[in-house]
Amino acid sequence: MAHRELLDRHRSVMPRWLALYYEQPIEMASAHGRRVTDREGRTYLDFFAGILTNAIGYDVAEISEAVRSQLDTGVLHSSTLYLITSQVELAEKIAALSGIPDAKVFFTNSGTEANETALMLATQYRRSEQVLALRNSYHGRAFATVAITGNRGWSASALSPIKVSWVHGGYRYRSPFRDLSDPDYIKACVADLREVIETTTAGDVACMIVEPIQGVGGFTTPPNGLFGEFKKVLDEYGILLVSDEVQTGWGRTGEHFWGIQAHDVVPDAITFAKGLGNGLAIGGVVARGDLMDCLGANSISTFGGNPVATTGALASLNYLLEHDLQANAAKLGSHLLDGLRSVAAAHPVVGDVRGKGLMIALEFVGPDGAPNPAAAAALLEETRERGLLVGKGGLYGNVIRLAPPMTLTQAEAEEALEILTQSIEAVAKEVQR
């Protein structure tokens, strides 16, 4: 009853385009570890973590205590017009972790703002409004970031301050190059990139922006090395490379701290958000010093990098590093992938199981291999009924996304795998009817 009443109030005052999960949406009332309890008292194992944002989990003492200590000072906000110790310390740590030479950091409130900032820097630095983006991408909901979002379901406007050209490579499962070997797939995508530059641009492109793993696009995972080969072509034209690590950053892929590192390349800029704050609103850009300093006008960020957010983010990042959560993501992610691939082999409704670390996707298909969004929607409901929260995405809405907090335990991974197995079996039976 509590959820139904709140849903009625929500619909009366919130935009109708504001998406909600489930036929009967829920409110999270309390949480601890990797579990959340809804307003009506039901507890779930959370395998979506607030869209990969609660990367450390819920009610983590070290993070909560750090935030409380800042609240106790009475200074919740000062703006970037004043020095902020936690902001500088966090920037120093991120700059060192980035691998970018002479790196500088600018903090924002979200991934959308981070990508908007990166676009402003790149277009100003190169004096060009031309940008290369990947098909099936998602980079945010603001004016410029919607323009570089290659997914019709999330692109609300064709109006834009930039000119965008689209490149193949991010979504292999439905790519025209899908049946090629990894090396040949990379060669085909590189050839496409070169052709796009030479036929759809004036050559003086500002930047190319890529997600190492496409998040909203359905955790699509290109072969390792693709973006390193892209960078060779970009360098011929002086085009900057921006890696959107809003979802892949902070060790979530297991094999590397940043997703782009799987491609043996150092980008000119990295954008980040989500998991850094473990629920606090924070994002940012780390970039080459000359790129970051290229703006000639004054600028500030009223809320970006505020004392509370940077204090909490610094505690989150320290916890992540001290507990080697990247290694935990690699270990448990591999276990989940193996288990899910075994289940998928017995149920053709799952066309693809992919991902890295604790960033895993299940793509649902019909008998002819076509996207099956109804099956994905059914799986979302089945897992919830069994006490597991998962995410959904993909260009066609037919992909289930799994991204639990990186503090996940072996026992919780086994629990989730059992629920997912039962849910897939139930959906498969329904499809066969």
Q: What is the pLDDT of residues 185-199, one digit of tens each?
A: 999 999 999 999 999
> Which residue did the predictor score with more confidence, 144 or 383?
383
Structural contact between residues 57 and 34, judged by C-beta atoms closer than 8 angstroms: yes
- Taking only Cα atoms into account, the Rg of the chain, rounded to an integer number of angstroms, comes to 21
Structural contact between residues 327 and 413, judged by C-beta atoms closer than 8 angstroms: no
Cα-based distances in Å from 308 to 77, 246, 312: 7, 20, 6
pLDDT > 80? residue 432:
no
- The H-assigned helical ranges of 99-181 are 111-126, 143-147
**Average of per-residue pLDDT across 329-350:** 98
Given this model, what pLDDT does residue 1 score?
A: 64
Given this model, what pLDDT does residue 156 score?
A: 83
pLDDT > 90? residue 143:
no
Q: Where are the beta strands (DSSP E) in 156-264?
A: 163-167, 207-210, 240-244
Nearest Cα neighbor of 139 from 10, 296, 269 is 269
Given this model, what pLDDT does residue 372 score?
A: 97
SS3 191: helix
Structural contact between residues 431 and 365, judged by C-beta atoms closer than 8 angstroms: no
Residue 152 pLDDT grade (very low, low, confident, very high; cuts 50, 70, 90): confident
**Average of per-residue pLDDT across 6-24:** 95
Phi, psi of 334 (to 5 degrees): -65, -40
**Average of per-residue pLDDT across 287-310:** 95
Residues 67, 389, 217, 422: what is their CA dihedral angle, to the nearest 10 degrees?
Answer: 150
Please name the helix (run of DSSP H) or strand (run of DSSP E) that holds residue 363, with its range, or none.
strand 359-364
Q: How high does pLDDT run on average in the chain?
A: 96
pLDDT > 90? residue 430:
no
Residue 323 pLDDT grade (very low, low, confident, very high; cuts 50, 70, 90): very high
Given this model, what pLDDT does residue 236 score?
A: 97
Given this model, what pLDDT does residue 367 score?
A: 94
Given this model, what pLDDT does residue 431 score?
A: 80
pLDDT > 70? residue 60:
yes
Given this model, what pLDDT does residue 119 score?
A: 97
Q: What is the pLDDT of residues 305-321, one digit of tens each?
A: 999 999 999 999 999 99
pTM here? Answer: 0.97
Tokens 């066309």 map to which residue?
A: 351
Q: What is the pLDDT of residues 242-272, one digit of tens each?
A: 999 999 999 999 999 999 999 999 999 999 9
Q: Tokens representing 331?
A: 């270990």
Structural contact between residues 356 and 250, judged by C-beta atoms closer than 8 angstroms: no
Q: What is the pLDDT of residues 211-238, one digit of tens each?
A: 999 999 999 999 999 999 999 999 999 9
Sheet holding 388-389, edge to edge: 28-32, 35-38, 43-46, 388-389
pLDDT > 80? residue 24:
yes
